[in-house]
Structure 1
């Protein structure tokens, strides 16, 4: 006799085959989207969209800035400079190009005496005394030899006997022993006229000037510059 309280459970609903199709379509769309993005970010031939250039060139002529903390400088698109390396003009990128060369090569004109990190503020980069030129080192992409992303700053010293970066010579960055006009413009000490004075120190505050200072020059504020006062003997 059948149990009157027994309830026959309903049959489980039959799984529709369409759900598997939908899941497959969604998965295919995701995979296709990833593949399309990868193709968009790269070249069609499978090569990367950008490659580091090994060429060396300068795209800017050396310019003299009125800021005593920003000396003559230029730019180079080689990213492999080391202290002790030499370089010279790049004949393939005249008139402002530079490229690494052996120090014994006839075309070598300077040697790297220090390598600094790149900076958005040129005045914040301080090269060692005796630096005759500063070269912005960049890495470029594609076949372009100009421009690029700054990576380092090369502090160079001429291989010849001409050293404008030496104290008192009138070039390079301002250092102790240089001479300046009453407008804080660096001039060669040998030809400095009346109104010029010798730099005794470069400090943040006038109270930090060394003894013998008679005319401390307060400079306008410059981001990154390590000093704000030029201590001179008047």
Structure 2
């Protein structure tokens, strides 16, 4: 988007890291789906698994095919902060400290709308059990842009997150220093307005 002369440019940040999960629901752990967009709560079993595949508090592995494992397992890599049924575009936002978002699908279901062998079952907001935490301010990732995050210009009119310490492979050019209701509330040092969403939808970024 082009900026007006004398004004800081307005850009849209593209930061959501979405990973595709194709996994069968665990045998004996099926539960009726919650209403679309509703938080799926889990009741822990003696084995440490919830009533919902990758339900809140459950842990999963890393890799091309994510699996639910006990959180005490050496294979456990990330914990579910919250879990929602339905598409992410119409569901609630993940918590701010989410490191990445998983789309949860059921493999080879009885009914397949588009013939790809899977049916979407919702999404899980995940946080790594150990650092790094890209969802933390300055971490260079996660589904949200937060105060303390750093940005670089990926192409004309668009910026993306990068780690503030430079470890993300892209040199940080801007730092988000405030989240405010409108651009008029940004400090005079603002060089870039960033769309954040939420109750404080405008991010004020200074040049580094």
What residue in structure 2 maps to residue 158 of structure 1? 128
Asked if 1:111 corresponds to 2:75, the answer is: no
Gaps of 5+ in 1: 1-65, 90-94, 220-224
CA separation of 1:170 and 1:73: change in aligned 2, threshold 3 A:
same
What residue in structure 2 maps to residue 74 of structure 1? 20
Structure with the higher fraction of residues in helix conformation: 1
CA separation of 1:218 and 1:131: change in aligned 2, threshold 3 A:
closer
Following superposition, the deviation at residue 142 of structure 1 comes to: 4.2
What SS does structure 2 have at the residue aligned with 1:184? strand
The two structures, once aligned, show a CA RMSD in angstroms of 3.4
| Structure of greater relative contact order (alpha carbons < 8 Å, 6+ residues apart) | 2
Q: 1:133 aligns with which of 77, 81, 100?
A: 100
What SS does structure 1 have at the residue aligned with 2:80? strand
TM normalised by structure 2 equals 0.60
Asked if 1:177 corresponds to 2:148, the answer is: yes
Following superposition, the deviation at residue 113 of structure 1 comes to: 1.0
Structure with the higher fraction of residues in strand conformation: 2
Answer with 1 or 2: which has the greater Rg: 1
Q: 2:61 aligns with which of 79, 85, 88?
A: 88
TM normalised by structure 1 equals 0.54
Following superposition, the deviation at residue 201 of structure 1 comes to: 4.1
